[in-house]
Amino acid sequence: MMSTLAANPADVAKFELVVGMEVHAQVLTNSKMFCRCATDYQGAPPNTRTCPTCLALPGALPVINRAAVEATIRTGLALNCTINQTAVFARKNYTYPDLPKGYQISQYELPLCEHGYLEIDLEDGSTKRVRIRRVHLEEDTGRSVHEGGYSYIDLNRAGVPLMEIVTEADIHSPEEAYAYLTRLRATLRALGVNSGDMEKGALRCEPNISVRTLDQKARGEYGVKVEVKNLNSFRSVRNSIAYEMERQIKVIGSGGVVEQVNMGWDEDKQRTVLQRGKEDAHDYRYFPEPDLPPLRVSREEVARIAATLPELPAARRNRYEQTWGVRRIEANILTSEAQVARFFEEVVAAYGENDGKPQRVATWMTGELFRLLYADGEGQDLRQIATIKIQPAHFAALLKLIDDKVINQNTGKKVLETMYVTGDAPHSIVEREGLAMVSDTSVIDEAIAAIFAENAAELARYRAGEEKLFGFFMGQVMRATKGKADPAAAKARLAELIQG
């Protein structure tokens, strides 16, 4: 995929990748940031969610949306930030067709939240803190629509509240970037402040990517940053970082200089493409927004919001691991979406918290159930679990049927598939399809006798010392009983009878 680029591995070892991540997250509020217009612009007829304020008509004044401020404080608290007692909205001046005022109201010198961190899990099992430089509140822009040689402006999105979450340059591999974004999205969703829907533009990521030599690192210097814009999946973030790292190392390795530019990502070709140079790098001429007073946030207000924070994914993961003994790898997956965690906890409540039962649920969910989910849905959105036909109590009942040796493991997987399609209770399926396990030794003995008669040559070879044929006979027994034989009972009977 990226082999066309392949920098010399010896060169790669001489460099460190440095990535800072900017995430824009639309805040889930009913109304816009500075007016009463509704935020349900997706699919709405163009320019029907507008008013004098978000159309920037002369004399219209902005009013701060309290819900958006609270959501940003919630986010800041969850990201371990300091919540500033005074935040100031500022005008960021630039000209663009989808920006009717000619400036965006944002925050510059005094953002709402600063100096936080988010803990992420690395593949080697260790954890790492990615520092959060700031979380500030601003407004979204409108959208340009290009059609049939004409360009149109839709201002339904103009003024939708937007949080900007900026990290320090703490990310040093494509996998760390992926882990950071995954945990951040799970956190935002758990807080109920953002939908996390990248394909709808509700969450947008822009990595700043550079490489530096180890000498530069020792001197505290950084390389030239390239910003990648308009990425629409975490996978493309990860792939674009991997690509840029190799590209920049190759440029420097061949005596060239990395230019400070904005790039886009070509999903088909799996490579970055030049969007525009930084020659139009803006001087935004920020200044405090004269139409809005400084925002004062009292300690009491922050304490009140802090008291309403839900259990966050990292804490929940720790609880699964420490209280229930679930392995970290599964605990991370189960807490990546609130809907998955809810389903898991309901199954555990019905099945049991002791004797390794939660781990058994975790294994079955992340293995068998997710396989069915992935095969079914568009993409790999685990939140679909909220709408499947299987009841958590039925899932628990299935595991009990296996524990009680009513059915064996393999039959259990088939029953789960039927449950997934029909939503029926597992015991009804077992009864209806006659799947109960056969542990009646006379039935098993009968099957074995028939198999011996049909496979006399193999039997002779086994008795002559070819012991690996035991597996062959075991397979025949399971097949003859249509997979329903109790494997332990079948094995014991076969071991005895095969001796002759």
Least Å distance, CB 92 to Zn ion, is 19
Told to check if 158 binds Zn ion by CB under 5 A, we report no
Told to check if 51 binds Zn ion by CB under 5 A, we report yes
Residue 285 phi/psi, 5-degree rounding, is 45, 55
Q: Which of 37, 162, 241, 398 binds Zn ion (CB under 5 A)?
A: 37
Pairing status of strand 271-277 against strand 261-266: antiparallel
Instruction: Give the nearer residue to Zn ion in terms of CB position, either 103 or 324.
Output: 103
Least Å distance, CB 194 to Zn ion, is 21
Instruction: Give the nearer residue to Zn ion in terms of CB position, either 101 or 189.
Output: 101
HSE at residue 264, side-chain half, CA atoms within 13 A, is: 9
- Residue 45: both structure tokens together: 């007829």
Pairing status of strand 103-107 against strand 127-139: unpaired
Least Å distance, CB 47 to Zn ion, is 11
| Region of 18-26, 31-39, 142-150, 478-486 interacting with Zn ion (CB under 5 A) | 31-39
Task: Return the percent helix, strand and coil in the chain, to nearest 5.
Answer: 40, 20, 40
| Region of 49-57, 290-298, 303-311, 456-464 interacting with Zn ion (CB under 5 A) | 49-57
Least Å distance, CB 37 to Zn ion, is 3
Instruction: Give the nearer residue to Zn ion in terms of CB position, either 54 or 231.
Output: 54
Give residue for tokens 């109790």.
486
CA-based nearest residue to 20, from 167, 174, 175: 167
Instruction: Give the nearer residue to Zn ion in terms of CB position, either 52 or 277.
Output: 52
Instruction: Give the nearer residue to Zn ion in terms of CB position, either 50 or 210.
Output: 50
Q: What length is written for the chain?
A: 500
336 three-state secondary structure: coil
Least Å distance, CB 302 to Zn ion, is 29
Residue 71 phi/psi, 5-degree rounding, is -60, -40
Distance CA 55, CA 292 (A): 18
| Region of 30-38, 137-145, 426-434, 492-500 interacting with Zn ion (CB under 5 A) | 30-38
Least Å distance, CB 51 to Zn ion, is 3
Instruction: Give the nearer residue to Zn ion in terms of CB position, either 35 or 402.
Output: 35
Least Å distance, CB 155 to Zn ion, is 8
CA-based nearest residue to 159, from 67, 72, 53: 53
| Region of 34-42, 149-157, 187-195, 454-462 interacting with Zn ion (CB under 5 A) | 34-42
Least Å distance, CB 46 to Zn ion, is 14
Instruction: Give the nearer residue to Zn ion in terms of CB position, either 52 or 367.
Output: 52
- Residue 167: both structure tokens together: 């990290």
Least Å distance, CB 58 to Zn ion, is 15
Q: Which of 18, 21, 23, 54 binds Zn ion (CB under 5 A)?
A: 54
Cβ-count burial of 282 within 10 angstroms (0-12 exposed, 13-18 middle, 19+ buried)? exposed
| Region of 37-45, 127-135, 195-203, 415-423 interacting with Zn ion (CB under 5 A) | 37-45
Least Å distance, CB 34 to Zn ion, is 8
Reduced 3-state DSSP string for 337-386? CHHHHHHHHHHHHHHCCCCCHHHHHHHHHHHHHHHHHHHHCCCCCHHHHH
Instruction: Give the nearer residue to Zn ion in terms of CB position, either 68 or 81.
Output: 68
| Region of 27-35, 257-265, 403-411, 419-427 interacting with Zn ion (CB under 5 A) | 27-35
| Region of 54-62, 242-250, 255-263, 320-328 interacting with Zn ion (CB under 5 A) | 54-62
CA geometry: angle 171, 166, 212, nearest 5 deg: 35
Output the CA–CA distances (angstroms, integers) from residue 458 to 419, 463, 485, 492, in the order listed: 39, 9, 22, 19
Amino acid at 344: F
Residue 259 phi/psi, 5-degree rounding, is -95, 145
128 three-state secondary structure: strand
Residues near Zn ion (CB under 5 A), total: 5
Least Å distance, CB 320 to Zn ion, is 44
Instruction: Give the nearer residue to Zn ion in terms of CB position, either 37 or 314.
Output: 37
Instruction: Give the nearer residue to Zn ion in terms of CB position, either 36 or 389.
Output: 36
Q: Which of 18, 35, 333, 361 binds Zn ion (CB under 5 A)?
A: 35
| Region of 52-60, 143-151, 265-273, 291-299 interacting with Zn ion (CB under 5 A) | 52-60
- Render 298-335 in DSSP notation, one character per residue: -HHHHHHHHTTPPPPHHHHHHHHHHHH---HHHHHHHT
Told to check if 56 binds Zn ion by CB under 5 A, we report no
Radius of gyration of the chain (CA): 30
Least Å distance, CB 96 to Zn ion, is 18
Please list every residue from 442 through 461 that binds Zn ion, using CB under 5 A.
none
Distance CA 251, CA 455 (A): 68
Distance CA 460, CA 456 (A): 6
What are the residues binding Zn ion (CB under 5 A)? 35, 37, 51, 53-54
